[in-house]
Amino acid sequence: MVKYEAISNEMRKRIQSEYYSSDQPIPVEQSLANEFGCSRVTMKKALDILVMEGLLYRKRGHGTFIIQSSIDDSTVNVISEESLGLSNTIKDQEVTSKVITFAIQFPSKEVARHLRIDMDTPVYHIIRLRIVANEPYVIEETYMPSNLIPGINDQVLHSSIYDHIQHKLELKMGGAHRKIRACKSEKLDWEHLDCKQDDPILEVEQTGFLITGIPFEYSFSRHRYDKFVFTSVMVNR
């Protein structure tokens, strides 16, 4: 195992054991490099792994912080190294969108916390029904900072927001931190997903990060139970 991976493993253990306070930034890279007896470049590579995993995020001028939800053990969390979006996941079938809600508003305290923004920073609030081959698959409720992801309009909403981010804005997306839970279906699901009142829903709560570690998306995707299977691949480090 190379040194930066060993350091990353140790830092991961510290984060999960709450060795560092989640209310304050972790020690700066140079301080950690001195502690681990490595170069600052090696330390940065070790922390980059944890940023990509959704355990840490960097805030320019303020330091590197622990993402609180990454140490919440009350639910099963899945770390993904990619944020693909439905259009890129299902490439062999036509994916269309029906816009249910589109607004710019100030975020709630919870949304602001996940996006690491102030409550006076405007966000997009988007609810879309995603349709595959003329059949409803998933309802996506998404919050994005409008200053970080500008230019979302009706045309973007009816195609792929992720394509807009990557190709129009030329931003590189990093990893995502996800919580997957089973829920009871609700009124919106009955109306748009053709669910019965006793049908279960698979909900995915996600915080998506740019390659820089900045959160760009906080979302809830409610999937029909008969249309999705989630597979998690465990990698030993």
Domain ranges for the chain, please list them. Answer: 3-72, 80-224
Task: Give the pLDDT score at 170.
Answer: 93
pLDDT of residue 233: 47
pLDDT of residue 68: 66
The answer to whether the CB of 174 falls within 8 A of the CB of 213 is: yes
- The tokens of 120 are what? 């006076």
Residues of the chain with pLDDT under 50: 73-84, 87-88, 233-237
pLDDT of residue 88: 46
As to burial, measured by CB atoms within 10 angstroms (0-12 exposed, 13-18 middle, 19+ buried), residue 11 is buried
The CATH architecture that domain 3-72 belongs to is Orthogonal Bundle (1.10)
Tell me what pLDDT residue 103 has.
97
Half-sphere exposure of 88 (CA within 13 A, CB side): 10
Q: Would you state the pLDDT for residue 231?
A: 57
Q: What are the DSSP E strand ranges found in the chain?
A: 56-59, 63-66, 77-80, 95-105, 123-132, 135-145, 173-184, 200-210, 215-224
Proportion of the chain above pLDDT 90, given as a percent? 52
**Domain 80-224: homologous superfamily in CATH:** Chorismate lyase-like (3.40.1410.10)
Tell me the pairing of strands 135-145 and 123-132. antiparallel
Backbone angles phi, psi at 7, to 5 degrees: -65, -40
φ and ψ of 190, to 5 deg: -65, -40
Contacts for 187 with CB less than 8 Å, ≥ 6 apart = none
pLDDT on residue 77? 41
Q: What is the CA radius of gyration of the chain?
A: 19
Note the pTM of the prediction, 2 decimals: 0.67
Burial class for 15, CB neighbours closer than 10 Å (0-12, 13-18, 19+): buried
Helices and strands: H and E segment counts in the chain: 8, 9
Topology alike, domains 3-72 and 80-224:
no
